[in-house]
Amino acid sequence: MATKGEQFAGLSVAMVTPLKDGAVDYDRMREHIEFQIEAGTTCLCPVGTTGESPTLSHDEHERVISFVCETAAGRIKVMPGTGSNSTAEALRLTKSAEKAGADAALQVAPYYNKPTQQGFYEHFKCLAEQTGLPQCVYNIPGRTGKNIEPETIARLAELENIDLVKEATGSLDQASAIINQTNLTVLSGDDSLTLPLMSVGARGVISVVGNIVPQDMIGLVQAVESQNMEQAQEWHHKLFPLCRDMLGLSTNPIPVKAAMKMLGRDSGELRLPMTPLTAAEETSLRDTLVGYGLL
């Protein structure tokens, strides 16, 4: 059955932000964009958690969004992270992304200040009503400190521009409740839970490992969509050790940037307070990439 944000079903990739000598490396970013377009990825999600948005300046944040939209040039959808724990700031970033040509906005739940459920509702309602972009509600209580309850998301689903949910609670019950009560397009926010979430009605994933193996993630999503569960399980079990052993090494995006460096696709540079993998962790990561067949 078609869902509200149907055009975003499939693989979205939570893009890293390449850095070189402390600045955004736009040449590398262009390469990343072309790599994803060639792979057949549905949508790019720059300046989210994976894109190190907490340590980008506001000017850099907006410039990255503009650059991705300009480079994509309609060949791939763009859903940048424009969320904040300040509604006014989220609104400013979202309006800027809309002006730059984004196709949707990824709105993380307000973090640290821990709003009430009514506060969540009013925050997302403001963004939906004061901009024209489809909104993806990003629920990740492990980082934000508070869950957006399914009942609140059901209320939000009644608003015209609330089209999607990035579901990163780790709870199949929560995902099932949202899918049961709404026609929102639910996307997995956890690579290793893509198959379980799609089995109850999610329509794809906003992926970190998609930075390095987009075609494999597309294979998994398409197998589920075509109801070939045997093939979907094969993809899941191929991808699972990579998701577990790479992403489990350290806080995202530290391991995926290290992996991209090993694969010759990024400098691997991070901004404090993100710090590089230890030598032992790098050895473990290399073994994981060799085991997967990437090195």
State CA 149 to chain mean position distance: 20
Question: Is 138 assigned a catalytic role?
Answer: yes
Q: HSE on the CB side for 112, CA within 13 Å?
A: 5
| Helical H segments across the chain, by residue range | 26-39, 58-72, 87-100, 117-130, 141-144, 150-157, 172-181, 194-199, 214-225, 229-247, 254-262, 279-292
> CB neighbours of 116 closer than 8 A, spacing ≥ 6?
none
Residues 134 and 4: their CA atoms lie apart, in Å, by: 10
Please identify which of the residues 138, 146, 257, 292 carries the catalytic annotation: 138
Residues 137 and 134: their CA atoms lie apart, in Å, by: 10
Please identify which of the residues 4, 77, 125, 166 carries the catalytic annotation: 166
Catalytic residues: 138, 166
